[in-house]
Structure 1
Amino acid sequence: MIFGRVKPLDAILATAEKKSLHRSLGALQLTLLGVGAIIGTGIFVLTAEAAQKAGPGMMISFVIAGAVCAVAALCYSELASMVPVSGSAYTYTYAVMGELLAWMVGWALILEYAVAASAVSVGWSGYFVGQLGGWFGITLPQEIIAGPYAGGIINLPAVVIALLITGLLVVGTSESAKVNAVLVAIKVTALTAFIILSLPVMQMENFEPFMPQGWGDGSGAGVIGAAASIFFAYVGFDAVSTAAEETKNPQRNVPIGLIGSLAICTVFYMLVAAGAIGSPIGSQPVTGADGSWLAPGSTELAQRCAAISAAAAEPLSCSKEALAHVLRQIGYLNVGNLIGLAAFLALPSVILVMIYGQTRMFFVMARDGLLPEKLSTIHPKWKTPHVITIITGLGVTFAAAFLPVGKLADIANAGTLFAFFMVAIAVMRLRKTEPTRRRPFRAPLLFVVAPLTMIGCVVLYWFLPPDAKLVLPGWGAIGLVLYFAYGFRKSHLGRGLVDVPEHTAYEEVDPPVPGTR
């Protein structure tokens, strides 16, 4: 029976110990890993898209998206502290609901991480082009800085950064974490400067009308539609749980990394959003000549932005350097350029964490036999899964070369929301089926928190743009074909190749009697 293939937690832990990654990350590095993944795209790139969808109402959008992530983080923390191995939601689902659903979750997470990395690569490209123009007056041809969606041929800067980050991850996790720490410091400094300069000059009249598109109508517009997109900016926290197997003292450090990074980032998001909305250019959506709403990333919006910018200041919804643009309009031209430089330097940390997360997902799925085991090969010198890192990097590069950032973000969210939904089910079921198992971190009010996570995921998925919603079932269908063509036959669990130890340190067992074994 397919649904009968449930891999015991003890077997998962034993497999991880038999073929494990090097534990080198502490609580601080995990928190920085989470901050590096979370702060970046939502503020530096997707702020303009949120303004186009919700106007000043994006303040509520940040609250909604953050609230869904907060309850999901509690579910993740409990499971990650119980099962400190690579694989995140995939591993948890395998242990609770069986191999088929675990495969579908892992397949959805692959979509999340790969597409997210591609989206941030495209966002970084916009800042790179802006820096060349702002500091050196260099204008690159449209053909090499945008995909076909925007009248170009290939987004060459996005290709370059994706390949560079891939190379860094091949060299090693420890080295990557050190670089990430530096980039996070740059990012936080830039956002702090933005807050200090923008909040004192806020124009409160720019907050009206507060919700020009209402709550949402299923087209992607409105406060909830913006929350569904902004959700992309928060979800980096789950990359922390994928690093559990490379973490020292994971029972303590993983929950700290998850909840700590989410709390820090939420504060920054709210303050920065307020500063952007209150700036002289405001945050009202750009409409067509007939007053109709224009979707972010559409050709119609690009044409309308060009027409408006030719005669007046560029609206926030049109900017590819949202925060730098705001400071320039306030009067801080040089500081605005420096904010753009900070984003240019810091956004690669988000790409790094996203590619890192996907490679670890592939690694653990291959280790379980659901993908070719060659993919889980560890480099003898660098101790990293170099084969799958290279394959992942090439896939990310291809998507970044030709697709727009907004579409990529919404597609990534679809996979993420599905995975979070399954985690909420898994943590509730484990409370019932294995109540005595040691839980270094217990989610408070779990049977309130987990259902809230599930409801929040369903609502945000429903308010994604229609094309983004359709990607997940299509991607899932491809995954099912691959599973039954390969994984179902080659699965270690299906073939009885399961490591089960005599006892495990992760269970609450009676201490041994002195003098016995």
Structure 2
Amino acid sequence: MPGSPANRFRIKSPERLVAEAGADLEGHGLKRHMGLYQLVCFGIGAIVGTGIFVGLSDSVAQAGPAVVVSFVLAAVTCVFTAFSFAELGGAIPVSGSSYSFAYAGLGEGTAFLVGWCLLLEYGISVSAVAVGWSQYVNELLHSLTGWQLPADLSAGPGDGGVINLPAVIVIALAAVLLVRGVRESARATAAMAILKLAILVAFCAIGFTAFKHGNLTPFSPAGLGGIGAGTTAAFFSYIGFDAITTAGEEARNPRRDIPVAILVCIGVVTVLYCAVALAAIGAIGGSEVGGRSAALSYVVNQVTGSTIGGGVIAFGAVIAIASVVLAVMYGQTRILMSMSRDGLIPRVFERVSPKTSTPVTGTLIVAVVFAVPAAFASLDSVVNLCTIGTLATMAVVNIAVIALRRGAPGLARTFRVPLYPVMPLLGVAFCLYLIYETGWTTWVQFAVFLAAGFLVYVLYGRRHSRLVATTAEVTPDATAAETQAV
């Protein structure tokens, strides 16, 4: 109805989102290849990478040994929001993730801005992760051959170089693998996830052999302020767990498996991060870990007195960070595909190859666009902007849970947020706190970014939206059939 709230706010019903996602738009659709094991590996592949292998040193520099508390606080923020993602990911199993959840709960304008913010979480984070990858490539080359890439070819202008060639190469390799097909990408991600977990467990075993309690004192040299700043830095290590929900159209049983995969990933990663931080600081002290590039390799070299162990860690980091690039690029292409399907961005992003069942053109565009900041930007210049965009998106997802509980109480939910509405409200509060900790410079950059997104929506997205281009709703029979198929 023209005067209904759904039309006024351009809200798309969850049933319609699911039905449209299942429709074969051009005779070619995505294929359901991923089970629970693949989803868990995909989640770990998206999370564990630059944040722990590279970003740990920044977190330690802020918080000292109390970085363990920072990791726990960052995990708590993620857990509150993970419950919300689990509920919505099981109820609305589509590729759009946060964007689609916002469309169903808060309307098209908010959804577009969420999708715009996801360019930071997924797109810019690809650049940041690729920059971190090059640090460990150099460390690996040095441990194997004693030679490193010249600074001009392994760092952008912000880090004293000319172009970060390894960062461009890893993005290109991920794009090639993604266009080959989801089955191949899932297998590669699973293998890399297992390898990097094994490497981190081995690091903990080595680090704890040299553990000294005195290295943990003073525990919090910068006080609560340092812990807060460390939490913001540590949060980057958790970015990517929501990428699991972008596999909603390629999971075999998304309503059951997506919620389970999200919660398993957060639990495993939190325990692992705290163990790695304790092992690193306990072995050589926070002052030695803080601010050091390729910190984990350095710790192992110091403990073992040899570069061989550090080389193994560097090899694991190269694999680990490459898997993050692969998983996050996958998520970005699926979100853009959902936005394109709704008409809010050009249709080129929704085209799926009949040969590979993947959005080939969209993947190549994403690779080219985000290879540019990877080649020329420094890691520090993009991490905070990526973090604030992610936090804003997570806050919206928590609000969407509340909106959909009220607006769609009959929606089939395979998982429900416990202690509702306390949990989602706490999720919003923790997100706002970490946004505050990013600092005013990041706030200004983010405000400019949002303003640009609003202009794009007004000038293009709103005019081309397919939601208002047709007044025909999905029929109940079609919706029921699709829901049963899912």
TM range (shorter): over 0.9
Tell me which of 290, 296, 315 is aligned to 1:317.
290
Q: Which residue of 2 aligns with 1:388?
A: 362
What pairs with 1:40-439 in structure 2 (closer than 5 Å)? 40-216=49-225, 222-280=226-284, 282-284=285-287, 315-331=288-304, 333=306, 334-439=308-413
2:297 is matched by which residue type in structure 1? A
Pair 1:479-2:484 in alignment = no
After TM superposition, give the deviation of residue 332 of structure 1 in Å: 5.1
Tell me which of 6, 12, 16 is aligned to 2:17.
12
Q: How many residues align?
A: 473
Matched position secondary structure for 1:445: coil
After TM superposition, give the deviation of residue 133 of structure 1 in Å: 1.2
- Inter-partner Cα distance in structure 2 for 1:111 and 1:453: 20
Moved more, 333-342 or 180-189: 333-342
1:441 is matched by which residue type in structure 2? F
Alpha-carbon contact 1:242-1:361 (below 8 Å) kept: yes
Alpha-carbon contact 1:279-1:326 (below 8 Å) kept: yes
TM-score by length of 2: 0.94
The change in CA–CA distance for 1:368 and 1:62 in structure 2 (over 3 A counts) is same
2:286 is matched by which residue type in structure 1? S
- Inter-partner Cα distance in structure 1 for 2:441 and 2:357: 40
Pair 1:455-2:464 in alignment = no
- Inter-partner Cα distance in structure 2 for 1:67 and 1:349: 25
After TM superposition, give the deviation of residue 406 of structure 1 in Å: 2.7
Alpha-carbon contact 1:10-1:501 (below 8 Å) kept: no
After TM superposition, give the deviation of residue 283 of structure 1 in Å: 1.2
Alpha-carbon contact 2:18-2:482 (below 8 Å) kept: no
1:241 is matched by which residue type in structure 2? T
* Larger helix percent: 2
Alpha-carbon contact 2:333-2:349 (below 8 Å) kept: no
Matched position secondary structure for 1:416: helix
- Inter-partner Cα distance in structure 2 for 1:413 and 1:133: 31
1:326 is matched by which residue type in structure 2? V
Q: Percent identity?
A: 37
Moved more, 327-336 or 186-195: 327-336
Matched position secondary structure for 2:398: helix
TM-score by length of 1: 0.89
Alpha-carbon contact 1:3-1:97 (below 8 Å) kept: no
After TM superposition, give the deviation of residue 108 of structure 1 in Å: 0.4
Tell me which of 29, 34, 40 is aligned to 1:25.
34
After TM superposition, give the deviation of residue 497 of structure 1 in Å: 5.8
Tell me which of 407, 410, 418 is aligned to 1:444.
418
Matched position secondary structure for 2:476: coil
Moved more, 499-508 or 323-332: 499-508
Alpha-carbon contact 1:89-1:106 (below 8 Å) kept: yes
After TM superposition, give the deviation of residue 507 of structure 1 in Å: 11
The change in CA–CA distance for 1:229 and 1:469 in structure 2 (over 3 A counts) is farther
- Inter-partner Cα distance in structure 2 for 1:433 and 1:508: 19
After TM superposition, give the deviation of residue 508 of structure 1 in Å: 10
- Inter-partner Cα distance in structure 1 for 2:136 and 2:374: 15
Tell me, which stretches of 5 or more residues in structure 1 are unaligned? 217-221, 285-314, 510-517
Moved more, 413-422 or 14-23: 14-23
After TM superposition, give the deviation of residue 498 of structure 1 in Å: 5.3
CA deviation map 1:99-124 (0-9, x unaligned): 00010011101121011111110111
CA deviation map 1:118-157 (0-9, x unaligned): 1110111000011111110113221111111121111111
Matched position secondary structure for 1:245: coil
